[in-house]
Structure 1
Amino acid sequence: MVRETDDPEVVTEADEDLEDLALGEDYAFNPEFVRMVADALDRGDSERLRELLGALRAEDIADLMGFLSADDREELLPHLDPEVLGDVINELDTEIREEILEHVPSATLAKALGEMDSDDAADVVDDLEEDKKAQVLAAMPEMERAAIETTLAYQDETAGRLMQREVVAAPQFWTVGQAIDHFRKEEDDLPELFFDVYVVDPAYKPVGAVPVSHLLRARREIPLAQIMEPVTEIAVDMDQEEVAYIFDKYHLISAPVVETGGRLVGQITVDDIVGVIQEESEEDILALAGVSDAGRDAGVLGIVRSRLPWLLINTVTAAAASSVIRGFEGEIDKLVTLAVLMPIVASLGGNAATQTLAVAVRALANRELSAVNAGRTVIREMLVGVLNGAVLALLTGAVIYLLFGDALLSVAFGLALIINLFVAALGGALIPLALERMGRDPAVSSSVFVTFLTDFMGFFAFLGLAGLILL
C-alpha cells in the first residue's frame, strides 16, 4: 500500500519503519525524512506530522530543528506536547533555542518548564528576555518558580547553576524498609532519575550515600547508616570545570551539592557532567583556532566578529616575523633560492609547534601537566623536536641537493630546520604553561604567540645560516 502526497518525490510505504527511515546507521538524519517533514509542514498535514514526529525521540526532534528553516520550525512548535517541547528545548543549539523561545507562548512554555529538571528549566529561563521571563515565571506554580529563581541566583557555570534541586534524602536512623516504603508513598515527589539516596544528619548535612542498587539488595531491617558509602561533596560555588574534573577523577555517577555550612541543597548527576565536558572541550578546540562556536544558524556578521580580532592580531605578529627578512635583503638578492626555501622552514616549524601545543593544552585541561612534571614534559618535547628536525633535515636536505646541486645550501636548510623544530617544541610546551601561570586561558592565545615564534625563528635561522655558510 502506497501513500500518495502532493509531491511525487515524497512517497512512502505505510508499513515502513519510520524510525529506521529517519536515522541512518550513524544516527544522522536521512535527507529523505527531512524532506517528508518539510512537505507535511507545507501541506499543513497535522496527522502526518504527528506520525513522523512520533517516531523520533526528543533529542532527534531537536536535531531535526537544525535542518529546517526558521519558518518551518515555528510551524512545527504547536504540534509538540508541553512535555516533549521541554525535552526538545533542552537539547537545542543555543542560537536555535533563542529563536524558538521567542515563538512559544508564555503559558505553554511555563507548562513545558514544569516537566523539566530545575537546573534545565533555569537554563531556559535565563535565555529569555526580561519581559517574557517575568511572564513565564508568573505562570508557573509557586514551588517551581521558587526553585528556578533560587538556581538563577547562583553564578553562571558553577555547581549551583548545574545542580538539580530535586534530591532523595533520608535520615541516618532509618532502615532500608522505612526508606523504601517512604519513597513508594511519595513517588510523585521523587526526581525522574536518581542514583543515590543521601543519608543526612538532623542539620540536613550529607553523611553518606546509599546507591539504589545497594538499597534494593539489602534486607529491610538493616539501618541505612550501616550500608551507606562516603560521599564526595561539591561546594555550591565550585566552577563547573572543577566539578567535571572531580567526577572524572573519582568516577562518580552523582554527587551532593552543599552550601556554606554543609547543608544539602541539590545534586549533580553524570548526564549533566557529560554536557559540561563536551562544552568545555568544544570551547578549548575552538579557542585554540581563535574562533568561537558557529552553529548551523550562526549569522555571517557574528562569525566575522568572532574571528576577525584574532586575524588582526595574527597580521601584526606575521608582519613582525616578516620584518626579519628585511635584514637579509642583501643575501636574498645574491641567492634568490633562499626566498623559495625559507617559507618551508617556517611552515614546518609552525606545524610542529601546533602538534606540541595541542598536546600541552589538552594535558593542562585534564590536569596531567603541572609544576610537578613540567620540566620532564618540556625536556621530552625538546628531544622530540630535535629528532624530528634531524630526520626532516636529512630528507629535505637530500631533495634540495638533488634539485639545486648545492651541498652547503642543504646544510644551511637542514640546520635551520633542526633549530626551528627545537624552538617550536620548546615554545609549544612553555607558552601554554606560562599563560596558565599568568591566569590566562592557554587555549585562546597560545597559537598566536607560537606562530609568531616559529615564523620569526624560521626566517632568522635559515637566512642567518645561509649568510654565514653560503655568502
Structure 2
Amino acid sequence: MSDSDIIATPPHEPEAVHAEDRIHDEEDRLLPAFVREVLDAVADGDDEAARELVAELHPADIADLIELAPGDERGDLIEALAGIVDADVYAELNEYVREDVIDEMEPQQVADLAAQLDTDDAVALIEDLEQDEQLAVLRAMEPDDRAAVEEALTYGEETAGRLMQRDLIAVPEHWKVGQVIDYLRSSDELATDFWEVFVVSPNHHPVGTCKLSTILRSPRSTLVSEIMARKQTLIPVDLDQEEVALKFQKYALISAAVVDSSGRLVGMITVDDIVHIIQEEAGEDVLLLSGAGEGDINEPLVDTYKARVRWLAANLLTALVASMVISQFENAIERMAVLAALMPIVAGVGGNAGTQTLAVTVRAIATNQLTGSNHWRAVWREIRVAMMNGLTIAVLIGIGVTLVLGSGTLGTVIALAMLTNIVVAGLAGVLVPLGLEKAGADPAVASSVFVTMVTDSMGFLVFLGLATAAGL
C-alpha cells in the first residue's frame, strides 16, 4: 500500500464538508439561507424535509434556529421538528424565547421536559413561570424530581444553590477502588456525567475528591483514602454565581462540591455551567454601565423601555447640573462666543477619560483584582495615569488653540482646564465605583451617571472660571 493510499480522503468527506459549509459560516453561525430553507419547508408543510435538514445539528444549533425564526413561526417550527426538539434543546434556548415557548405548553409537557434535565436546567426551565403555572408543573412531576426542583427554588436567584446539580457520586473513604468501580456499574440511576468522585465522612461532609483517571489507574485493592486529594474548593450553597465563576477561574476547577450551612455535601457544580455564567457576567457589567438593561434582543419591548428610560432620566438630571454651572458664566460667554465652542471639548475629553478609568475599575472590582488591600494603590496609579494623559492633551489643545485663534491666554486657559478635568475624571472614575461598592451598591449600575456629572460640571466650571479670571 502506498503512502498516498494511506492519506487518501474518503469519498464521502468532501460532501460532508460541503453540507457543513451550507449550514454554518466561518464563525459557526447558522447561515440565513439555511434558516430560510428550513422555515420554507415548514411553511410548505414538508415536515420531513425540515427534519432531514436539522437532523444532524447540535442541540445548541437547533436552539439558535428557533431563536432566529420570527416569533409567529416558532410554534410551527417546533411542531414540525417533533422528536428532534428535545429537553437538551430547551436547555440551550434563550430565556425569553424559552419562556414564550413554555407558555404555550401544557403543565405535563413541561414536567416531562424537566424530568429529562439536570436539576439546574430544570429549575431554569420553570423558575420564570407564573406562580400558578409553576405549581401546576410541579404537581405534574415525579415526587423525587419535584422535591429536587422545589429545594433549588428555595435558594436565591444567581446563587450556587440554583446553579448546582444534585446528581453526583459520593463514596466513603474506607472503600477500596474495586468497590467504587463496582458501585459505579451497579445502577443506571447513578449520575452519568462527572469527572471526579467526592469522598465523604459518615455525616456526609466532603473530606476529599478522586479524579476518575486516578481511580481507573489504581489497583482494585487500593483504599480511596490513600489516593484521594484532601484539599478541595468547597462552594457555599448561597454563594453568588459570579463568585463561583471566579473560584473556578482562579483554581482551574472542572467541578466542585457545594455544601450547605452545616457543611454537608448537597450538590456539585461543573465547568460547563460556569462557562455560561462567565459569559453572562462579562457582558452584564458593560450593559449596566451603558444603561441598556439586560441588552437581550429577545427581551420584551416594555422591559427594555423601562430599563433604558430610567437611565436616560437620570442622565437628564445630571445634565441639568452641568447647565446650571454654565448659566453662572453667561456674561463671559457673551463677551467671547468662542468659549461656547471650546467648553464641550473640555467636558467631552474629560468624560472619555473618566469612562476609561471607570471601565477598568469596575472590571477590577468584578474580578476581585481590586480589594480593600490595594485600593489606595489603585487610586494613586490612576492619579499618575491621569496626570500623564492630562499633560499630553493639555499641551496639544493649548498649542492648537493658540495657533488657530491667536490667543496665548485662551490657549493657556483651556490647557489648564483640560489638565484639571482629566485628573478629576481619573479620580472620579476610580473613587465613585469604590464608594458605591463600599455602600453596598453595584458599581456597574450607577457609576457612569455620577462620573459623567462630575466630568461635565467640573469641565465647565474650571474652563469658564479660569476664562473669567483671565478677563476673557
> Normalization by structure 2: what TM-score?
0.93
Report the aligned-residue RMSD.
1.8
Q: Which residue of 2 aligns with 1:131?
A: 132
Q: Which residue of 2 aligns with 1:121?
A: 122
Distance 1:193 1:79, change over 3 A: farther
User: Does the 8 Å CA contact 1:82/1:108 hold for their aligned counterparts?
Assistant: no
Q: Which residue of 2 aligns with 1:7?
A: none
Q: Which residue of 2 aligns with 1:319?
A: 320
Secondary structure of 2:185's counterpart equals helix
Distance 1:29 1:470, change over 3 A: farther
Alignment of 1:135-150 (within 5 A): 135-150=136-151
Q: Which residue of 1 aligns with 2:158?
A: 157
Q: 2:270 aligned with 1:308, yes or no?
A: no
Q: Which residue of 1 aligns with 2:7?
A: none
Q: Which residue of 1 aligns with 2:336?
A: 335
Q: 2:279 aligned with 1:278, yes or no?
A: yes
Alignment of 1:195-274 (within 5 A): 195-229=195-229, 230-274=231-275
Distance 1:16 1:415, change over 3 A: closer
Identity among equivalent pairs (%): 46
Report the Cα offset of residue 261 of structure 1.
2.0
Secondary structure of 1:197's counterpart equals strand
Secondary structure of 1:294's counterpart equals coil
The whole-number CA distance in structure 1 between the counterparts of 2:84 and 2:48 is: 19
User: Does the 8 Å CA contact 1:409/1:470 hold for their aligned counterparts?
Assistant: no
Specify the code of the residue in structure 2 equivalent to 1:184: R
Report the Cα offset of residue 295 of structure 1.
2.2
User: Does the 8 Å CA contact 2:153/2:162 hold for their aligned counterparts?
Assistant: yes
Report the Cα offset of residue 300 of structure 1.
3.4
Report the Cα offset of residue 203 of structure 1.
1.3
Unaligned ranges ≥5, structure 1: 1-12
Report the Cα offset of residue 250 of structure 1.
1.6
User: Does the 8 Å CA contact 1:82/1:109 hold for their aligned counterparts?
Assistant: no
Report the Cα offset of residue 70 of structure 1.
1.6
Specify the code of the residue in structure 2 equivalent to 1:152: L
Unaligned ranges ≥5, structure 2: 1-13
Report the Cα offset of residue 84 of structure 1.
4.3
Distance 1:102 1:294, change over 3 A: same
The whole-number CA distance in structure 2 between the counterparts of 1:398 and 1:55 is: 65
User: Does the 8 Å CA contact 1:435/1:441 hold for their aligned counterparts?
Assistant: yes
User: Does the 8 Å CA contact 1:77/1:104 hold for their aligned counterparts?
Assistant: no
Secondary structure of 1:398's counterpart equals helix
Secondary structure of 1:66's counterpart equals helix
Secondary structure of 1:446's counterpart equals helix
Q: Which residue of 1 aligns with 2:194?
A: 194
The whole-number CA distance in structure 1 between the counterparts of 2:260 and 2:298 is: 39
The whole-number CA distance in structure 2 between the counterparts of 1:123 and 1:39 is: 31
Alignment of 1:94-105 (within 5 A): 94-105=95-106
Q: Which residue of 2 aligns with 1:445?
A: 446
The whole-number CA distance in structure 1 between the counterparts of 2:304 and 2:16 is: 45
The whole-number CA distance in structure 2 between the counterparts of 1:333 and 1:287 is: 39
Secondary structure of 2:117's counterpart equals coil
User: Does the 8 Å CA contact 2:42/2:80 hold for their aligned counterparts?
Assistant: no
C-alpha offsets along residues 273-325 of structure 1, whole Å, 9 cap, x if unaligned? 22222222222111111221132233433322111111111111111112111
The whole-number CA distance in structure 2 between the counterparts of 1:398 and 1:417 is: 13
Report the Cα offset of residue 14 of structure 1.
9.3
C-alpha offsets along residues 351-394 of structure 1, whole Å, 9 cap, x if unaligned? 00000000000001111112211111111111111111111112
Q: Which residue of 1 aligns with 2:24?
A: 23
Report the Cα offset of residue 217 of structure 1.
1.5
The whole-number CA distance in structure 1 between the counterparts of 2:393 and 2:17 is: 58
Q: Which residue of 2 aligns with 1:401?
A: 402
Q: How many pairs are equivalent?
A: 458
